[in-house]
Amino acid sequence: MRDGPGERSEPFQVKLQSLERTVEKLRVLEEANAHTISQKLDQIIAALAPLGQIRDFVERVSDEHERRITALERHTAIPR
| pLDDT value of residue 61 | 86
In total, the chain counts a number of residues equal to 80
pLDDT-derived band at 7 (thresholds 50, 70, 90) equals: low
> SS in 3 state form for the chain?
CCCCCCCCCHHHHHHHHHHHHHHHHHHHHHHHHHHHHHHHHHHHHHHHCCHHHHHHHHHHHHHHHHHHHHHHHHHHCCCC
Spatial separation of the C-alpha atoms in residues 30 and 22, rounded to whole Å: 12
Q: What is the pLDDT of residues 28-75, one digit of tens each?
A: 999 888 888 889 999 999 999 888 888 888 888 888 888 888 888 888
| Residue 57 DSSP symbol | H
- Considering only residues 6 and 60, tell me which one the structure prediction assigns the higher pLDDT: 60
State if pTM tops 0.85.
Answer: no
